[in-house]
Amino acid sequence: MTSAGIREDGIVPTSSSKSVDCHCRADGRRPSYLDEAGVPEGFCGICERCGAPGHTRHYPGAVPYTGAWCDRCYQILRFVPYVVMAVASVLVVALVWLWR
């Protein structure tokens, strides 16, 4: 990374929005496939969940997956594993208590 936080390949680790480590370019160049896909200026992807303009970035969980999400859906995805674990823990405790 350079002193400005820009990677050598021109990708900015943080975009102008709240997204982290998206694939927006620092030099302002846009690949032609983004225009062909209808991705608005300032974004590098279309959200897989809701179809809103978003950013291409790594999945927030422990899954080796990269996709595009808007900031709202990305925040939701960040907390889904924790909610699932909490619900599963409560269910396990309830089942153990019922079987006593």
pLDDT confidence bin for 16, thresholds 50/70/90:
very low
Which range, of 2-16, 35-49, 74-88, averages the lowest pLDDT? 2-16
pLDDT tens profile 20-32: 567 776 666 778 8
Q: Tell me which residue range forms the domain holding 37.
A: 1-100
Number of domains comprising the chain: 1
Tokens for 12?
Answer: 């900015």
The reported pLDDT for the residue numbered 15 is: 44
The arithmetic mean of pLDDT across residues 9-14, rounded, is 46
pLDDT over threshold 50, residue 19: no
Within its chain, how far is the Cα of 81 from the centroid?
14
